[in-house]
Amino acid sequence: MQYRIRELPNGIRFIHCPSTSRVAHLAVYIDAGSRDERAHEHGIAHFIEHMAFKGTSHRKAYHILNRLDSVGGDLNAFTTKEHTCLYASFLTGYEKRAAELFSDIILHSVFPEKEITKEKGIVLDEINTYKDSPSEAIFDDFEELLFDGHPLGRNILGSPESVEEISKRQIIRFIQRNYSTLRMVIAYTGPMENLKVGNLLQHQFETVPWQSPDRAREPFNGHNPGRRVEQKMTHQTHAVTGTIAYPMGHPRSTALHLLNNMIGGPGSNSRLNMALRERKGYTYHVESNYQPFSDTGYFNIYLGITSHNPNPALEMVYKELSVFTKEPLGSLQLHRAKTQLAGQLALAYESKLNETLSVGKRLLHNQEVETAEEIILKIEKLSSGDVLEAARELLIRERFTELIYPAGSYEPQ
């Protein structure tokens, strides 16, 4: 099965993922996220995502939400550091309804002042929800520490102060500066034939005026490793340690995905889970993550630690990481790691929504759009030398930054 890519006359790109399922998925990606905000706009990209469903010149908020709900569909959106996405899942046959709704939102949103005021309260509640969950808040604070002073370090939600200052005028200016047709991608998964769905999307989106990009992203060039301890009201010690890593499409990004999966991926047999939880009982939860961006990325490890003192657990983390830098993986170990990662990818792509969002994101960032089979083939081609090279470049303790929320009376050393 191959994806089919087409460009509409106004520059919007469209990717079609053929499927025989009775459920179809449609996603509209816009290459604008929190890193594209100016200092006085902190949180505005995420706020616009909320306001997308609050009214157009043709529909009130209720009619937007009811348009797909009334036929059993699901409408949603999310914002990341680098993009905004509107997406929907629905029974096949309602493609025109979904496409027309998205077109209406993108072309005709009016951002009512009353809704702006109401939504500020909702976003403030969302911010406070994260603050009440240290195991989630620590990831945002870690990014702020790692990308210190750079737009990538900003919390996507914004701050209470910045959200309160958002105005309709700011919203319109941000959209005018960032919502270019050359930075938009539409992804569709479903049984409708390629030509038919392409013509449908062209009809619905052809009135979006052609617009070239009017912004340049600030590159991230510096990383100063360090350690920060913040006192929080927690019963458990939370810690994140990590470093700058490869961007999307980097030649060694696949090797890092494999390493990440072995170190602290979702499998309960990950190296850190076996060492810290099963053998030592240091932690209830440990995980590692690799997050690539368009021009940089990061790798981190999170621990929820039972002890007030995180140092023994962190020392064991670095000890386990060093193993990967000393010698190549054995052939059996490498084979098992490849099989596990390929199996997890295949399971993830069983969700056609996941596949739709994945290919749309890759096309948005001008990355090679690969099928699950093609990605698995890349995994299978990895050598132990590839993995060792990535480990020796990145898994160096001196490169790592630490953020700790200690429980009780622990004093940093």
Q: 134-170 pLDDT, tens per residue?
A: 999 999 999 999 999 999 999 999 999 999 999 999 9
Tell whether the model's pLDDT for residue 302 goes beyond 90. Answer: yes
Question: Among the listed ranges 2-11, 369-378, 401-410, which one has the minimum average pLDDT value?
Answer: 401-410
Locate CATH 3.30.830.10 in the chain.
Answer: 4-205, 227-405
- 3-state secondary structure string across 251-306: CCHHHHHHHHHHHHCCCCCCHHHHHHHHHCCCEEEEEEEEEECCCCEEEEEEEEEC
Question: Among the listed ranges 84-98, 248-262, 360-374, which one has the minimum average pLDDT value?
Answer: 360-374
Which CATH code, of 3.40.50.620, 3.30.830.10, 2.60.40.420, 3.40.50.970, is assigned to 4-205?
3.30.830.10
Q: What percent of the chain has pLDDT over 90?
A: 89
**Are the beta carbons of 21 and 137 closer than 8 angstroms?**
no
- What whole-number distance in Å separates Cα of residue 56 and Cα of residue 113? 13
Confidence band (pLDDT; 50, 70, 90) for 407? confident
Interval 257-287: pLDDT, tens: 999 999 999 989 999 999 999 999 999 899 9
Whole-structure pTM value: 0.93
Question: Among the listed ranges 176-185, 210-219, 229-238, 291-300, which one has the minimum average pLDDT value?
Answer: 210-219
Interval 49-92: pLDDT, tens: 999 999 999 999 999 999 999 999 999 999 999 999 999 999 99
The arithmetic mean of pLDDT across residues 214-223, rounded, is 86
Does the domain formed by 227-405 have CATH 3.40.50.300? no
Residue 96 token pair: 């025109």
pLDDT at 222: 83
What separation in angstroms does the CA of 191 have from each of 23, 99, 154, 278, 325?
9, 15, 40, 46, 47
